A and B are shown apart, each in its own frame.
Chain A
């Protein structure tokens, strides 16, 4: 039982990272109808920038700085690159994001090299004697959770809550939801649709950057680090329903947990850890056969 709980919690933590990256994908898909294949590489790139900043600065100073930079990068990519192919056939846009993928990957390899680097987990903070983040593990009765897993979970929940409040209660958030639903009517309301799309990309890149910063301590920092994560994230986004932010996180958690459990509990002779990706993706195929729009997806994905 203890081991089972342990595996579930660890699965929830890695699942949160998949979920965050899936959320980044969904944020762009909802507003721009673009499946951003470069999402993982954008996160990888910002994590390398974070590594460079960390050579000179404090972790908690670097953190907001890198998030700002990620937002700027997301907005820049939308304004300078994606806007040129707006309204082009879907395949063209996909090719453009694949191109971005290659560019970011190559630049990172050229600039920082291909040798894996260690990346620190968020360091400890003491607030009135209570320890947050940092090394070690927390004993919560039936099982033990590492502080880093907890950190990931806390970040995922905080980001979800922040995004929910933003979309639900701010005029900008409302305008972005309107843009996603009906761009023409949005223009008639006076909403500058192009600006909303750029903000969407900026938000998405920021969420992705957090995912990169949180997963890097677990898998080492290197240019191809996000490929596996991106695959899981896409699966999570599709599983949850491509247009649902909640679905993205839930999808990520389901995949994280099932991946961990399959890796631990299926016998090596016929499945085992080597087959955990296959089994996980099989589960997704089955779910999508039953619910083609994903668990939380409402619209048919007619625009793709």
Chain B
């Protein structure tokens, strides 16, 4: 579904990715592990179009996307839930969710029928998101900035799902959350993948949890892929245990 080949990406003169290649098969959960500054977030930014790769190619469902803008890429069926959530903190929960669906409804409806169809689509997507995250229904009219950390992460994910993506890029969903909340979020990620068949590329510091739900994993070290294997094998690997699983 997603293929990166020798992707080089940089912030000005600082090269963050030195030729990263990875693959995400359809229907799977793939995780990218690595220390701070290894280039995990940069990888996601390059995929979603926030950062234009300097070299290499990125293919999504057989189509080259490395020269497209972030605005175009989201409408192809890929949602990026960025590091630090990046909510619209002064807008309400419902407004955030509405914006999540923006890419599907950009531009004027061409008639009353299309308008109604869009409404139905939106309501259906909203209903589904609120089923995953019932707390968001209760907080519907609350300003996003006043939510707790866990609720904010749920809103960020809900907003991403409103675009009905086939591929979800998730950047550190556990950041700053209590272990209980993190576990809940990971269960939901697992459910989204299983029941809806949404493919997930998950960047995570919490290697234990990530390898528990992922099918496949990559280890990123200073902008290069150091290891790539099934989660099972990665969990057994001595190098991973030493550096990332704290054993």
Binding site for B on A (CB under 8 A): 171, 174-175, 177-178, 181-182, 184-193, 298
Nearest first, the 6 A-B pairs at minimum CB distance are A190-B103, A185-B86, A187-B70, A190-B74, A189-B102, A189-B99
Which secondary structure characterizes the binding site on chain A? helix
| Nearest CB of A to B188, in Å | 20
Q: Which residues of B sit under 8 angstroms from A190, Cβ to Cβ?
A: 71, 74-75, 102-103, 106, 163
Interchain CB contact under 8 A, A191 and B71: yes
Q: Which residues of A sit under 8 angstroms from B240, Cβ to Cβ?
A: none
Query: A189–B71 Cα gap in the complex (Å)?
Result: 7
Task: Judge whether B53 is part of the interface by a CB distance below 8 angstroms.
Answer: no
Q: Which residues of B sit under 8 angstroms from A175, Cβ to Cβ?
A: 99, 102
| Nearest CB of B to A280, in Å | 31
Query: What total of chain B residues lie within 8 Å of the partner, measured CB to CB?
Result: 27
Interchain CB contact under 8 A, A187 and B50: yes
Query: A171–B119 Cα gap in the complex (Å)?
Result: 12
Q: Which residues of B sit under 8 angstroms from A193, Cβ to Cβ?
A: 71
Binding site for A on B (CB under 8 A): 48-50, 69-71, 74-75, 79-80, 82, 86-91, 95, 98-100, 102-103, 105-106, 159, 163
Interchain CB contact under 8 A, B82 and A185: yes
Interchain CB contact under 8 A, B88 and A187: no
Interchain CB contact under 8 A, B98 and A187: no
Q: Which residues of A sit under 8 angstroms from B95, Cβ to Cβ?
A: 174, 177-178
| Nearest CB of A to B49, in Å | 8
Interchain CB contact under 8 A, A185 and B74: no
Q: Which residues of A sit under 8 angstroms from B100, Cβ to Cβ?
A: 189
Among A174, A181, A184, A298, point to the contact of B98 (Cβ < 8 A): A174
Decide yes or no: A189 and B74 within 8 Å by CB, A174-B99, A181-B91 being known contacts.
Answer: yes
Query: A13–B79 Cα gap in the complex (Å)?
Result: 49
Q: Which residues of B sit under 8 angstroms from A178, Cβ to Cβ?
A: 88, 91, 95, 99
